Structure 1
Amino acid sequence: MTGPAPWIPAEAGGAERRHAPATLRNRMAIADVLREVLPRSGTVLEIASGSGEHAAYFAGEFPALAWQPSDPDGAALTSIASWCEGIENVLPPLDLDAAAPAWPVSGADAVLCVNMVHISPWEATLGLMAGAGRVLVSGAPLILYGPFLRDDVPTAASNLAFDESLRARDPAWGIRSIAAVAAAGTGFTLERAIEMPANNLMLVFRRR
């Protein structure tokens, strides 16, 4: 398996609208889990929204929730705005760096982060856990999706190859262990680790 696919123009929406191929493969499986763990109402803060395709899809699947996409990349913010144009329950995307000591949002009812932890420096995960701790109230979910290492489960060969390719692209990247992520979230309890297609996991944390 190679590293993450580069942004490519979507078939519609012009060059400003970007397409991440993985979103089409994983969005339905992710939505199935979100139906079990998201609150019935309130605001979902999505960290590292990327192209914005997940935000547009999930907003349609959960019309009673307000979706707050975010990303630190200017091209991503433009793409998010394009994908989500006209969707009433999607808020304007925020310029938000997970690693920053302060986020431009005061609160949320859930935080979702898809495919960021392994494609960013470890400082971004530390910032994610700290920031989610600041914006979530007790009992609210922090939901992470992606490949993770588990101490008690052999790592799939495809994930080992993926990890190697990530570290070749950037030594600060790489698949993280669940134990390390959980230890970084001192204000959270890991409630569930859910098996997902293609050797991915959904980690559901709860704010203490």
Structure 2
Amino acid sequence: MQTLDPLTPAAPPGALASPAVARNTDAILAVLRAHLPERGRVLEIASGSGEHAVAFARALPLTSWTPSDPSPEARSSIAAWAADAALSNLGPALDLDAAQPDTWPAVDVQAIVCINMIHISPWAANEGLMAGAGRVLPDPGGLLVLYGPFREADVPLAPSNEAFDASLKSRDPAWGLRAVEDIVALAKAHGLHLTRRAEMPANNLMLLFRRVG
């Protein structure tokens, strides 16, 4: 689930654009380059507009990138960006709801990437994400990558994140910044262990989890 903006002049016909993508793509890509398997198959959860999927598939040509989103509007946007990019390693978007892991299509992947969903979704989506990742990622070594703003024990929350959290909760009380400790505990319950915490621009984090049986 991702907040999308209306069509912009830079987007191909039928596509949506998210301003955050232009700001965070390079920083996220640097971490992905360092940790994704060079020739791995990657499932992206909650791909939103599809701009990240195109950018990462283009930058990582030996990977096979599969976007997904439960929103028909988002999947249409992903298809528009993908058609414009014409990348052989970018597959069609799956209709996949993180909150319902039992309904996920069969996938054969080495890594799952989820950007800016954890805080813009109910807790059930996080539970479903971990359950689904724990089931489909290979054991050992399967990789789950999360990106977004989080709360951390004993780390003061940046004023911008405090305001963002309040804004999210005003839109939906089930949304909001999650505590890293809660996400780590949930992941561990599904055989996924935190192996890296990377500080990112604009008070965001990337959390990398590995599948451990």
Shorter-chain TM range is over 0.9
> Structure 1 residues 197 and 160, CA, compared in 2 at 3 Å: closer, same or farther?
same
| Higher alpha-carbon deviation: 183-192 or 196-205 | 183-192
Secondary structure at the counterpart of residue 44 of structure 1: strand
Cα RMSD of the aligned pairs, angstroms, is 1.1
Q: Partners of 1:31 and 1:13 in 2: how far apart?
A: 23
Q: Which residue of 1 aligns with 2:142?
A: 140
Which amino acid letter does the alignment assign opposite residue 112 of structure 1?
A: V
Which amino acid letter does the alignment assign opposite residue 119 of structure 2?
A: H
Secondary structure at the counterpart of residue 34 of structure 1: helix
Secondary structure at the counterpart of residue 135 of structure 2: helix
Q: CA deviation at 1:5?
A: 5.5
Structure 1 residues 119-168: Cα deviation after superposition (integer angstroms, max 9, x where no partner):
00010001001101111012111000000111131111111111011000
Q: Which residue of 1 aligns with 2:206?
A: 202
When normalised by structure 2's length, the TM-score is 0.93
Which amino acid letter does the alignment assign opposite residue 124 of structure 2?
A: E
User: 2:173 aligned to 141, 147, 171, which one?
Assistant: 171
Q: Partners of 1:67 and 1:106 in 2: how far apart?
A: 12
When normalised by structure 1's length, the TM-score is 0.95
Structure 1 residues 89-121: Cα deviation after superposition (integer angstroms, max 9, x where no partner):
001110000011321133311000000000000
Q: Partners of 1:22 and 1:64 in 2: how far apart?
A: 25
Question: Is 1:181 aligned to 2:183, yes or no?
Answer: yes
- The answer for unaligned runs of 5 or more in structure 1 is none
Q: Partners of 1:101 and 1:54 in 2: how far apart?
A: 22
Secondary structure at the counterpart of residue 167 of structure 2: helix
Identity %: 54
Which amino acid letter does the alignment assign opposite residue 193 of structure 2?
A: T
Q: Partners of 1:70 and 1:5 in 2: how far apart?
A: 15
User: 1:69 aligned to 50, 67, 70, which one?
Assistant: 67
Q: Partners of 1:101 and 1:65 in 2: how far apart?
A: 24
Q: Partners of 1:122 and 1:21 in 2: how far apart?
A: 25
Structure 1 segment 142-157 matched on structure 2, within 5 A: 142-157=144-159
Tell me if the contact between 1:121 and 1:172 (Cα under 8 Å) persists in the aligned partners: yes
Q: CA deviation at 1:87?
A: 1.1
Q: Partners of 1:5 and 1:63 in 2: how far apart?
A: 27
Tell me if the contact between 2:141 and 2:210 (Cα under 8 Å) persists in the aligned partners: yes
Q: CA deviation at 1:195?
A: 0.3
Secondary structure at the counterpart of residue 119 of structure 1: coil
User: 1:22 aligned to 20, 24, 28, which one?
Assistant: 20
